[in-house]
Amino acid sequence: MRTTAARQASLREHNLGLVLGHVVDAVTRGRTPSRADVAAATGLTRATVSALVDRLVAGGLLAELDPVQTQRAGRPAVPLTMPARTVAALGAEINVDYLGARVVDLSGDVVAERVDAGDFRASDPREVLARWAALAEAVLAEAGASDTGTSDVGTTSGAGPTRIAGAALALPGIVDRGTGPLRTAPNLGWRDVDVLALLADLSPTLSPTLAAHPPRLANEADLAARAESAARTAGADERPSFVYVSGEIGIGAAVVVDGRIFGGLRGWAGELGQTLVGDRRLEEVAGQDAMLRAAGLEPSGGMAALGTAARAGDERAAAAVCDAGTLLGTALANTVNLVDVSHVVLGGAFAAVADLVAAPVLAALERHVLAAPWAPPSVDAAVAGELPAMTGAALAVLADVVADPAAWLADDAPRVSG
């Protein structure tokens, strides 16, 4: 709901965001628009767009490429893109089997990344967070991140250090939207953990860069869905809508409508694993452990082993996958009826067996979704890369910068002038 008075500065801020957003959008679709293109697409005049683009370039949020030889008559256009390694964000994750951190810049490149395997079931939050912080430090150092952008280097893009816009941390549990405490992460055995306070305790041992950017916390499935959404925006005309199924041991989900994640009132939405099927929770009967048990396989092998077994003709494995798929499909049919998003994306633990699970899930959807005749359900494997929640976390931070570049430029200004 609109709540702030619009003064003339708001106008500028709005159009600044509009221009940047348009370029970002075009670039993710593989184009590199010129100022004139942006003007035509947004409805602003070339004069206005030029002024705004100049400001964005000065602030390191856009970069000009060399004019490309075109076949057309007329002065060649200056293509615009997101600059590499000028502005980046730290995306991180703590999950049951691993923790990791990744620095992604505005252009979408992974600047640095580190992942640490482990078993964090029933772990001590303080220990794990210390371990994570050390990892994050290493990744930031590798990225050449600097918090204060000693910008007396003066040259164009690429020369300055990579500046960190912020950090986000994905957790497999319910967290308040933003910075609230972690309420519960059943599979970590964490409950009412004030992650930010614990990190603040570590503060003396942290680099200024990490200390200056306390991570915003969010649910792992929500952030993975964000990465998936970005990946699917790439080629497409419209922003994607889908139900993303995630989770390693438990089953999480996120509902994406038109590229926006539906977080509910506090950001706790998407607890699909808690759905009751019969008298048991979905993640008890269709989660990774349940599937492996039903297939008679060692838990250590993971989903990959289950997939290969089932594909190799192991009937018990195939049945386990199929049964889980049917249960999952039923829960998803309820979900689709409730939220009106008829495309399901299988991520997390289900990604590895997506080819096997898709059929029973789809069958359940087609059978039980009221709107199926008018909006045929579909089931897909996730297309975002490995550890999508980490990417999504970084993207969440960068999206905020893109949404309100004026705030970023304002932060920037004193450092440039100083």
Partner DNA sequence: CGGATTTTGTTGTGCGAATGAACTTATGCG
Partner DNA sequence: CGCATAAGTTCATTCGCACAACAAAATCCG
Please report, as ranges, the residues that interact with a copy of itself according to CB under 8 A: 1-8, 10-11, 14-15, 17-18, 21, 42-44, 174, 183-184, 186, 239, 241, 253, 255, 257-259, 262-272, 274-276, 278, 330-331, 333-335, 337-342, 368-371, 373-375
Position among 41, 78, 257, 339 found at the interface with DNA (CB under 7 A)? 78
What's the token pair of residue 54? 């100049």
299 in contact with DNA (CB under 7 A): no
| Residue list 102-141, contact with DNA (CB under 7 A) | none
2 in contact with DNA (CB under 7 A): no
Query: Both ends of the chain: CA-CA distance in Å?
Result: 38
Cβ contacts of 286 within 8 Å, gap of 6 or more: 251, 277, 323, 324, 325, 327, 328, 331
Beta-carbon count within 10 A of 298 CB: 10
What does 77 interact with, of a copy of itself, DNA, none (CB < 5 to 8 A by kind)? Answer: DNA
What's the token pair of residue 305? 């082993």
151 in contact with DNA (CB under 7 A): no
Position among 54, 201, 289, 411 found at the interface with DNA (CB under 7 A)? 54
34 in contact with DNA (CB under 7 A): yes
| Closest distance to DNA from the beta carbon of 64 (Å) | 8
155 in contact with DNA (CB under 7 A): no
| Closest distance to a copy of itself from the beta carbon of 269 (Å) | 4
Write down the residue that tokens 């694993």 correspond to.
Answer: 273
Q: What's the burial of 91, exposed, middle or buried (CB within 10 Å: 0-12/13-18/19+)?
A: buried
Residue with smaller CB distance to a copy of itself, 18 or 106: 18
d(CA 192, CA 385): 31
Residue with smaller CB distance to a copy of itself, 99 or 254: 254
Residue with smaller CB distance to a copy of itself, 40 or 304: 40
Q: Is 405 helix (H, G, I), strand (E, B) or coil?
A: helix
206 in contact with DNA (CB under 7 A): no
Position among 48, 179, 308, 334 found at the interface with DNA (CB under 7 A)? 48
| Closest distance to DNA from the beta carbon of 32 (Å) | 10
What does 2 interact with, of DNA, a copy of itself, none (CB < 5 to 8 A by kind)? Answer: a copy of itself
d(CA 88, CA 81): 15
Q: Minimal CA–CA distance to 321: which of 335, 332, 311, 334?
A: 311
List, in sequence order, every beta strand (DSSP E) within 30-186.
63-64, 80-81, 87-94, 98-105, 110-117, 145-146, 162-171, 174-175, 182-185
Binding residues for DNA, per CB under 7 A? 5-9, 11-12, 15-16, 34-37, 43-48, 50-52, 54, 67, 69-78
